[in-house]
Chain A
Amino acid sequence: MARTLIHVPTTARKGEVLEVRTLIAHPMETGYRAGADGRTLPRDIIRRFACRYNGELVFSADLYPAISANPYLAFSVIADASGSFTFTWEGDNGFAQTESATITVT
């Protein structure tokens, strides 16, 4: 399991703008670099990120090798109901990780 950093407020008022920031530890090996033995290192990147709010897809992104190591993504969501955020990362070599965060909306 890769380490993740997820920033979502735990409480919010209805209609408030939530700043969501996510970061996951991942080398994002581009597939264009040569290793110590001179051979090209195989590509190993996260290809897809998705954020769901109470099961509904809010934001998703396709990532390419031009994204830095430890991909960071920040975006904003409107708070409309208490519940949970689910973040999923999928990538090469069967990489898949899901994290969640809960929020209370008053």
Chain B
Amino acid sequence: MSDSATADRSRRALLAGGVGAVLCVAWRPACALSDELAGALRGFTGGAPAREGKVNFDIAPLVENGNTVPITVTVDHPMTAAAHVQAIAVFNEKNPQREVISCRLTPRMARAALSTRIRLATTQQLVAVAKLSDGSFWTHTVDVVVTLAACIE
């Protein structure tokens, strides 16, 4: 009796562990950066820590045509001479090159916002990062599914 109870418990533990492991693999949290993106981000920040927040990276989660994907990056931060956003950059995970765009902003801009159109080679993760005038870095990471890839390779 006690033997079968122990066996039952260990089987349950094994099952629970297995299910947990599968879920961890399938649901990579959006904030967990891949090595490629983390490296590109380090190149931009110069090793300074980048926190998630303030930045809003607006892109369709399901992209039907990877050749022109509209994106909008906005930063929730005032644009005054004392406190403004100095730079915005976007990096991708799986295009041939990590960089997408890198912009320098000035306080004469009304809002820290930028729209453009980009290419995406495949389903991947993207990160937008903003550098504020106080030297801090803020990011927003998004996962995008691409059904028709851009002709870049």
Which chain A residues have a beta carbon within 8 Å of chain B's beta carbons?
17-18, 30, 32-33, 53, 56-69, 71-78, 80
Contacts and interface: CB of A to CB of B under 8 A. Distances in A.
Given A60-B104, A63-B101, A64-B99, A73 B110 contact: no
Interface stretch (B3-11, B16-24, B51-59, B114-122): B114-122
Contact of B152 (A61, A62, A63, A65): A65
Contacts of B118: 66-68
Instruction: Determine chain A's interface SS by DSSP, over half rule.
Output: strand
Nearest to A53: B108
B144 to A, nearest CB: 13
Interface string B86-106: 000000100111011111111
B108 A80 contact: yes
Interface centre among A18, A60, A80 (most CB of B within 10 A): A60
A67 B117 contact: yes
B113 interface: yes
B34 interface: no
Nearest to A34: B153
A102 to B, nearest CB: 17
B82 to A, nearest CB: 15
B45 interface: no
Interface in B40-68: 67-68
Contacts of A68: 67-69, 116-119
A72 B116 contact: yes
Interface centre among A60, A68, A80 (most CB of B within 10 A): A68
Contacts of A63: 101
Contacts of B114: 61, 73-75
Contacts of A75: 109, 113-115
Given A73-B116, A74-B116, A61 B106 contact: no
13 contacts: A30-B119, A32-B152, A32-B153, A61-B102, A62-B101, A64-B99, A64-B100, A65-B152, A68-B67, A68-B117, A69-B67, A75-B115, A78-B108
A57 B106 CA distance: 8
Contacts of A76: 109-111, 113
Interface string B113-151: 111111110000000000000000000000000000001
B101 A67 contact: yes
Contacts of B99: 62, 64, 66
